[in-house]
A and B are shown apart, each in its own frame.
Chain A
Amino acid sequence: MDFNLTQEQSLIQKTTREFAEKELVPIAAKLDHDGVFPREIVDKLAELGLLGVAVPEQYGGAGMDNVCYALAMEEISRGCASTGVIMSVNNSLVCDPLLKYGTEEQKKKWLVPLAQGKILGCFGLTEPNAGSDAASQKTTAVRDGSQWVINGAKNFITNGPQSSVCIVFAMTEPEKGNHGISAFIVPADTRGYAVTRVEDKMGIKASGACSLAFEDVHIPAENLLGTYNKGFGVAMSTLDGGRIGIASQALGIARAAYEKALKYSHDRTSFGKPINQHQAIAFMLADMATELDAARLLIWKAATMKDKGVRHSMESSMAKLYASEMADRVCNKAIQIHGGYGYIKEYQVERHWRDARITELYEGTSEIQRLVISRSLLKD
């Protein structure tokens, strides 16, 4: 048992903390206000190797472990939650399945530029009528000679408007349900691929989320990712990793809110003393600090398991469930500590609360996490 960070882990933590402090903290409120995708920031993430943190160097990544990834996600998200999710989707939902399931050719062609951050990718699983219940999706892929023809629609696709490639999940044998889904690498410039609607969201406003439509999208047969009809497994295993990223994002957001609340509690006085000298406030801060640590330990546990290559579905789900709900509580308390100022944009904790809320929804709602956890425990 060892809770020390390795030298590499300490270094990435320090580097990303400094980067976030210098480059993200000063502009996060404006990015949120404008809702504009931070292209320059993303280019800087690429320079730091943050778009393929756990991808081996031979495939264009930074070659670090998943604890490094979790640490970097926490720090970046503390600076700007929108930037956090842009980073998380590219790392966890696009690079990771390509690394795990891609052929050597697919890795050279797609993983290298994605991990280098030359292009961005997105993950096309959710549909208008199929979120948590992935098996009920309607998008289809039909074989036509040496090509696949994809038809259907996806929505809530993070990074969709900015992506050059999408990992698309489609029914190849709809009657087989979960066992009839396959994963495909679909270039965004393919004819018939269209961004149909960009969402206006409550939070993470500087990241793009959109609907995609596929109308007779023809892609070469070699763009099948992984085994035919095994796409559901690709999706689930990918989300096991993604949940570590989102848990870390939630942790970063919560930490930002906590730090602001702690600072405010020194500055603000009531009844003749700083408000943190009142137990009502001090105890909220104690609970926030404890919950942050608890979330971080769950995340690190899941990340170390991923690094060891052992199954970590339940651990990722626990980390994601706890961290996201913790972030909601912590941001709520941060607003409470700020009083009326918490409701005013100038103090920014209202942004953290809006940003935190999504972490309980995407990459598996809290309900799906509870399903994953309880199934692992209740199966015979």
Chain B
Amino acid sequence: MDFELTEQQRLFRDGVRAFVEKEVAPFAALWDREHRFPVELMPKLGAAGLLAVQSPESTGGTGAGPIEYSLAITELARACASTSVTVAVTNLCSDVIRKFGNDAQKQRFIPRLASGEAVAGSFCLSEPHCGSDAAALRTHARRDGGDYIINGSKNWITNGGHAGVYIVMATVNRELGPKGICAFIVEKRTPGLITGKEERKMGLRASNTVSLAFEDMRVPAENLLGREGDGFRIALASLDGGRIGVASQSVGIAEAAQAAAIRYARDRKAFGEPIANFQAIQWMIADNQVDIETSRFLALRAAWLSANGKPFSREAAMAKVAASEAANRVVNRAVQIHGGYGYIGEFPVERYFRDAKVTTIYEGSSEIQRIVISREVIQGSRA
């Protein structure tokens, strides 16, 4: 048993940290204020090896594993939660192609995602009427000669307005339920791919979230990932990894909030001494750290299981629900420690507070995570 990072992992993390401090941290508040997706950052993220962390170098990826990926997302999220989700979803797309794509698909799409040439990737599962219950999706795909014709709409699509590569989930037959779902790789500028309104969000304002409509969108059959009916499995498998990503993001946001809270508690005086001297403040700082460390170890354990080819659905769900809910407690305490200053844009904690909220919702809400965990423990213990 060993909780230490390897030398290589430490170097990787330090490299990401240095990149983030130079290219991301100084601008995060501005991007947030302006609701601006930083397109110019994408090739830099690509050059830093952060857009296809787990894809092999032969396809332009970084060739690292789930632990490194988790560390990268945490580092990004410490500076800018929006950028971390942009990066996470792009990685999700290259990961899906890496795991389920054929060689031609890998060679064609992963390098474009990895370099930032595609700007970003976009994973299209949620629909207006179905989020957690993915098997109920209605977007329809119909085979037509060498193509599929896709009709339907998607909601809450991260990177949807900028992506060069989309993974679209659609069903060939709704009556088949999960078994009818297929995953397609769809390129930008495909006729019939219509970008809808961009959402104005409470947080993650520098990430791009849109609705999409597909109107007789024609996709070549060679862009089907795996086989017809593999889509649900692909969606679920990617969500397990995605949950480690959100847990890691939650850790990053919480770490940033805790660092700000500690800094402020030392500087700010009340009743003649730094507020760090009061137990009311010390207790919040202590509880924050416990929340952060439990989240970190749960996330890294899930990543480690994944890296070792072991099942990790339950552990990823535990990491996701614990870390996201912990992050929300931590940012709340950080705002409280800042008093009125925590509520204004001059200090970063109000941004952390807004950014943290989504972590309990996307990639499977807390409720979905609890369903995943409880099903496993209940079924696993049935006599």
Contact = CB atoms under 8 A, between A and B. Distances in A.
Contacts of A290: 298, 318, 321-322, 373
Nearest to B265: A378
B300 interface: yes
A278 B298 CA distance: 26
Nearest to A291: B322
Nearest to B300: A1
Given A294-B298, A298-B294, A304-B1, A262 B304 contact: no
A297 interface: yes
B337 to A, nearest CB: 11
B286 A370 contact: yes
Interface string A292-311: 01110110110010000000
Interface in B277-317: 279, 282-283, 285-287, 289-290, 293-294, 297-298, 300-301, 304-305, 315
B285 A3 contact: no
B4 A294 contact: no
A99 interface: no
Contacts of B33: none
A3 B1 contact: yes
A5 B370 CA distance: 27
Interface in A345-380: 369-371, 373-375, 377-378, 380
Given A276-B378, A294-B298, A377 B285 contact: yes
A4 B383 CA distance: 27
Contact of A297 (B285, B286, B289, B301): B301
Main secondary structure of the interface of A (DSSP, over half): helix
A263 interface: yes
B30 interface: no
B290 A322 contact: yes
Given A1-B4, A286-B373, A297-B298, A266 B290 contact: no
Given A2-B2, A282-B371, A318 B289 contact: yes
Interface in A295-351: 295, 297-298, 300-301, 304, 314, 318, 321-322
Contact of B3 (A263, A282, A304): A304
A374 B285 contact: yes
A31 to B, nearest CB: 26
Contacts of B370: 279, 282-283, 286-287
B378 A285 contact: yes
Given A276-B378, A282-B370, A300-B3, A369 B286 contact: yes
Contact of B378 (A1, A3, A265, A287): A265
Contacts of A67: 1
B42 interface: no
Given A1-B6, A4-B1, A298-B293, A371 B282 contact: yes
A58 interface: no
Main SS class of interface, B: helix
B308 to A, nearest CB: 9
Nearest to A4: B1
A9 to B, nearest CB: 7
A289 interface: yes
Given A2-B2, A4-B1, A282-B370, A297 B297 contact: yes
B262 interface: yes
A176 B294 CA distance: 39
A6 interface: yes
Interface string A1-38: 11111100100000000000000000000000000000
Contacts of B330: none
Interface string B244-263: 00000000000000000010
Interface in B324-383: 367, 369-371, 373-375, 377-378, 381-383
A285 B377 contact: yes
Contact of B262 (A276, A283, A377): A377
Interface size class of A (residues with CB under 8 A): 35 or more
Contacts of B137: none
B3 A374 contact: no
Given A289-B318, A322-B290, A370 B382 contact: no
B318 A300 contact: no
Interface in B9-60: 9
Nearest to B292: A318
B363 to A, nearest CB: 16
Contacts of B265: 378
Contact of B2 (A1, A263, A297): A1
B58 to A, nearest CB: 26
A369 B286 CA distance: 8
B301 to A, nearest CB: 5
Which of A290, A298, A322: most chain B Cβ within 10 A?
Answer: A290
A298 B375 CA distance: 25
B378 A266 contact: yes
A322 B298 CA distance: 14
Contact of B373 (A3, A289, A300): A289
Contacts of B315: 293
Nearest to B291: A322
A256 to B, nearest CB: 14
Contacts of A380: 266
B5 interface: yes
A293 B286 contact: no
Contacts of A321: 286, 290
A262 B283 CA distance: 33
A378 B9 CA distance: 28
Interface of A: 1-6, 9, 67, 262-263, 265-266, 276, 279, 282-283, 285-287, 289-291, 293-295, 297-298, 300-301, 304, 314, 318, 321-322, 369-371, 373-375, 377-378, 380
